[in-house]
Each structure stands twice: as structure tokens, then as C-alpha cells.
Amino acid sequence: MLNTMQWTVTSLEDTAAVAQEVLSLLAAGSQARVIALHGDLGTGKTAFVQQLAALLGVRESVTSPTFVIMKTYPLEQQTFVELVHIDAYRIETPAEMQPLKLEQLLAESRTLVCIEWAERITELLPEDAIHLTFTINGEQRIIMHTDHG
């Protein structure tokens, strides 16, 4: 059964509200939780991670890790103790993720991992990853989540 949720976003406040709803779908478990972000350049993937990070109490500036591939932010007194932001845009094969020790990272409990351009490493993602697709429709951004559960 497919369960689809869709949000229309016109401001950062809207994006923050979507991030809050997505957070409510997550519960910490014995392994990391993954939010896989899909969409073209400029559709709002990084803005979503910035708003999510703010909700989780990250005070430092969150920017896309396009050139460093991965950034980590410690979280205090949260369901999650660490936010990991990965940008797979420059990844050409899943093997290129090995130096980041992604498999070990995904085995960590109380870790939240957001992956931009997740379609480039689909085979490395856990089955319970939350997939969000970002598109643009005129002045609006559309964020869609489909649950295959």
C-alpha cells in the first residue's frame, strides 16, 4: 500500500513546518535513521536540511557539503545525538562512499543522516529510509514523501 504525503512550500517557515512533520515520522532506533533527498539543483534540499538542523538545535551555519561530501553536527538532549549531512552529487559509484565509512555510520544508533542526491547511492540506503522528492512548480516548491510500507 502506497501512502503519499505532499507539501507545497513557499517560504522557509513552510520548509521548517515540513521538517517538523518529517521529524515526527522518525524515532531513534538501534540503527541510524536516513532521510534521502531527491530533486534537481535549486529545489530546496539544502534549505530543508538547514531548517531540520535548526529544529534540532544546531546553531552553526549549515551549508551543502558538495565539496567535502559529508558534515557532522553534534546534537544535545535530542532523540538523535548527531546529524550527518551528506551530498552525493559528486559521487559516481557507491564504492566512492567507502572512505566515509557509510556502512558503519548507518549502524550507529541515535544518528540522523540526511543525504542529498541520494539516488546516486540508492543501493547503500537502508530499506526504512524516508525518501523526499523536491520539485519546483512556478514560485512554489513541492516536497513529496511516498511510504512503501
The C-alpha atoms of residue 56 and residue 13 are separated, in whole angstroms, by 15
pLDDT digits (tens, 9 = 90+) for 42-87: 999 999 999 999 999 998 889 888 778 899 999 986 788 999 999 9
**Average pLDDT for 3-11:** 87
Domains detected in the chain? 3-147 (3.40.50.300)
The gap from C-alpha 33 to its chain's centroid, in whole angstroms, comes to 9
**Average pLDDT for 5-17:** 92
The C-alpha atoms of residue 22 and residue 130 are separated, in whole angstroms, by 8
Distance of CA 128 to CAs 30, 38, 75, 87, 146, Å?
12, 16, 22, 19, 12
Sheet bearing 82-87, strands edge to edge:
3-9, 140-147, 130-137, 33-39, 111-116, 82-87, 70-74
pLDDT at 2: 55
The C-alpha atoms of residue 68 and residue 46 are separated, in whole angstroms, by 14
pLDDT digits (tens, 9 = 90+) for 101-110: 888 888 888 8
Mean pLDDT lowest for which of 20-29, 95-104, 108-117, 127-136? 20-29
> When comparing pLDDT for 139 and 27, which is higher?
139
